[in-house]
C-alpha cells in the first residue's frame, strides 16, 4: 500500500496561518527539507537557487521570511519574485533555470489561511513520492544534508521584473492576435492577479473593467473571485462586457461569464478549447485529459470530432501527470484549473482566459454561442448517510445493480460511487442520456446501499 502524506494535500500544505502546520517554525523546517530533496548542487559547486512568489495575504510576509531562513540555512539562494500568480512562479523557475520554486498561498481559501506549494525547476508540480520524501525529513525520520557555513550559506535577491516577464509570456500566448474593441469585466479577487491580468489584457488592446483589485492583506477572495460566480455575473451586467473573467487568490484558476451574464464552468471552457483545437489540428494526440468529475457530454463532443477524453482522479496534479506522461497539451478540472500545456506547466487562469477570448475573436462568436458546443448529460445524485464505510466492492446488492446500469449506459454514461472524506456519507452519481432511467436506477442503488450500511 502506498504511503500516506501527513501534511501535503491535493495542492501543497495548507492551514490557518500561525497554527500548526502553518507556523514559522514548521515552514522553516519545510524549507530545509525541500532544500535537501529539491536543491541538488550544480556541477561547478554553485549554490542551488529557488524562486519564491506569494499572494496578497497579510501572513505571507511572515511565512515567506521563515521559508527564506530555512532555505538559506540549507545553502539555497533565494530569488524573491514578489506578489505574482502561482503559474508565474512555475514559468519563472523554468525560464531562469532555478532548481525549484515555492508559492506562499492558500489559493481560494479565506485570508486567515495560508499555504506552501512547491514546483520543480521545470515548473511541474511534485509527485506524491517527492512530497513524502520532504515530509520524512520534516518529521526527522531520515537524514538531511549537512548545514553549510561561511560562504556556503544561501543569499537573498529580488527579481525586479517578475510581473513584466509573466505578462509578456501571457501576451505571447495570443500569437499576435489582439483584443481591440472587446470589453472584459475582470475580478481579481484582491489576490495575486491584481498585479498581472489587467496589464496583459490592456497590452492586447481590450477595454478592461477592473474590479476587486485593491488587496489590503485581509480581503483576498472575500465575496469575490472565481468561487463567487454570482458576483462575476453582476459585474458583467454592470459593465455590459462581452466576457467576464474571475480568478482565485493565486490566479491558477479561472471562472468565465458570457455576455448574457451567465457563468460557465470548467467543462464548458474545456469543450470550447477542445473543439477549436480539434478543428485546427492542434490538440496533441487528439486527446483531452479531465478528472472523473467532468460531465460525459465532453466525451460525446470530443469523440464526435474524432478525439478522445481520458480521466484521472480528482486534483489538477493528477491531470498534469497524465498530460506529461502522454504528451498532451489540454486538460483540466470542472473547478476552473485549465492547463494549456503549450504555454503553461500548471493551471493558469490568465492564459486560460486569453485562449478563450482568442477563440471568440477568431470565430466572431460570442461566448453564449460558443458554449452551446457542450450538451451536458443529465445526472442523478444521492448523498446517503451511512453507519460504516466497508470497501465499496463489498456492497454486493448495490454492485449488482451498478453493473447492470453500467452495461446499459455503455460508453455514454457512468456510475460514480465514493465515500465522503470528511463525513459519514456515501456519494452516488449517475450520468447518462435518459433522466427517468437515471433517477430510477439511483433509487434502486440507494435502497440497496441503505439496506446494507444505512
Catalytic positions: 107
CB 34 within 8 A of CB 118: yes
SS3 88: helix
Cα 139 to Cα 408: distance, rounded to the nearest angstrom: 50
221 sits in the region (left: phi over 0; alpha: psi -120 to 50; else beta) called: left
User: Looking up cell 470548467, which residue turns up?
Assistant: 266
Where does residue 104 rank: exposed (0-12), middle (13-18), buried (19+ CB within 10 A)?
Answer: buried
Pick the closest to residue 115 from 33, 71, 50, 54 (CA basis): 54
CB 412 within 8 A of CB 378: no
CB 347 within 8 A of CB 123: no
Annotated binding residue at 248?
A: yes
- What phi, psi does 203 have (nearest 5°)? -60, -30
Annotated binding residue at 299?
A: no
Alpha carbon separation from 303 to 49, 274, 309, 334, 379 (Å, rounded): 45, 11, 8, 19, 20
Annotated binding residue at 128?
A: no
What residues does 428 pair with on adjacent strands?
382, 417
Cα 67 to Cα 53: distance, rounded to the nearest angstrom: 11
Cα 194 to Cα 216: distance, rounded to the nearest angstrom: 11
What residues does 414 pair with on adjacent strands?
431
User: Looking up cell 461566448, which residue turns up?
Assistant: 367
Distance from the Cα of residue 235 to its chain's centroid: 24
What residues does 418 pair with on adjacent strands?
427
Pick the closest to residue 232 from 241, 221, 244 (CA basis): 244
Q: What angle do CA 62, 65, 67 make, to 5 degrees?
A: 110
**Is the preceding peptide bond at 21 cis, omega within 30 degrees of 0?**
yes
CB 185 within 8 A of CB 244: yes
Cα 108 to Cα 11: distance, rounded to the nearest angstrom: 11
SS3 153: coil
Alpha carbon separation from 400 to 135, 333, 435 (Å, rounded): 41, 30, 21
CA atoms within 13 A on the CB side of 24: 10
- Annotated binding site: which residue ranges? 107, 248, 250, 252
- Annotated binding site for Mg(2+): which residue ranges? 107, 248, 250, 252
Amino acid at each position: 500500500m502506498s504511503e500516506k502524506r501527513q501534511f501535503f494535500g491535493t495542492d501543497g500544505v495548507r492551514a490557518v496561518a500561525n497554527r500548526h502546520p502553518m507556523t514559522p517554525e514548521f515552514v522553516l523546517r519545510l524549507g530545509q527539507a525541500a532544500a535537501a530533496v529539491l536543491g541538488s548542487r550544480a556541477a561547478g559547486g554553485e549554490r542551488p537557487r529557488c524562486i519564491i512568489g506569494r499572494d496578497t495575504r497579510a501572513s505571507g510576509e511572515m511565512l515567506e521570511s521563515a521559508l527564506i531562513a530555512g532555505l538559506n540555512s540549507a545553502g539555497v539562494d533565494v530569488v524573491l519574485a514578489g506578489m505574482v500568480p502561482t503559474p508565474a512562479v512555475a514559468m519563472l523557475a523554468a525560464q531562469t533555470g532555478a532548481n525549484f520554486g515555492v508559492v506562499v498561498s492558500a489559493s481560494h481559501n479565506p485570508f486567515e489561511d495560508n499555504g506552501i506549494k512547491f514546483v520543480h525547476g521545470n515548473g511541474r508540480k511534485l509527485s506524491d513520492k517527492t512530497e513524502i520524501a520532504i515530509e520524512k525529513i520534516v518529521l526527522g525520520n531520515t537524514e538531511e544534508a549537512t548545514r553549510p557555513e561561511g560562504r556556503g550559506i544561501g543569499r537573498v535577491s529580488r527579481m525586479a521584473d517578475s510581473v513584466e516577464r509573466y505578462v509578456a509570456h501571457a501576451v505571447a500566448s495570443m500569437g499576435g492576435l489582439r483584443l481591440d474593441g472587446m470589453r472584459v469585466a475582470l475580478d481579481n479577487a484582491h489576490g495575486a492577479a491584481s498585479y498581472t491580468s489587467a496589464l496583459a489584457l490592456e497590452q492586447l488592446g481590450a477595454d478592461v473593467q477592473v474590479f476587486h483589485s485593491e488587496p489590503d492583506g485581509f480581503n483576498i477572495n472575500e465575496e469575490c473571485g472565481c468561487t463567487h460566480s454570482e458576483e462575476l455575473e453582476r459585474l458583467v451586467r454592470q459593465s455590459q462586457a462581452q466576457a467576464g473573467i474571475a480568478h482565485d487568490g493565486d490566479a491558477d484558476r479561472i471562472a468565465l461569464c458570457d455576455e448574457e451574464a451567465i457563468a460557465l464552468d470548467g467543462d464548458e471552457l474545456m469543450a470550447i478549447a477542445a473543439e477549436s483545437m480539434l478543428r485546427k489540428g492542434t490538440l496533441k494526440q487528439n486527446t483531452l485529459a479531465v478528472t472523473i468529475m467532468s460531465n460525459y457530454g465532453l466525451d460525446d463532443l470530443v469523440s464526435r470530432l474524432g478525439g478522445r477524453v481520458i480521466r484521472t482522479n480528482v486534483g489538477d496534479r493528477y491531470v498534469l501527470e497524465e498530460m506529461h506522461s502522454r504528451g498532451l497539451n489540454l486538460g483540466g478540472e470542472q473547478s476552473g484549473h485549465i492547463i494549456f500545456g503549450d504555454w503553461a506547466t500548471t493551471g493558469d487562469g490568465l492564459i486560460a482566459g486569453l485562449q478563450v477570448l482568442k477563440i471568440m475573436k477568431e470565430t466572431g462568436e460570442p461566448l453564449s454561442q460558443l458554449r452551446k458546443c457542450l450538451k451536458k448529460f443529465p445526472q442523478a445524485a444521492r448523498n446517503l448517510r451511512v453507519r460504516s464505510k466497508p470497501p465499496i466492492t463489498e456492497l454486493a446488492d448495490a454492485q449488482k445493480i451498478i453493473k447492470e446500469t453500467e452495461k446499459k449506459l455503455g460508453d455514454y454514461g457512468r456510475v460514480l460511487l465514493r465515500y465522503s472524506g470528511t463525513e459519514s456519507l456515501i456519494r452516488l452519481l449517475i450520468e447518462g442520456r435518459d433522466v427517468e432511467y437515471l433517477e430510477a436506477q439511483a433509487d434502486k442503488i440507494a435502497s440497496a446501499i441503505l439496506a446494507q450500511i444505512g
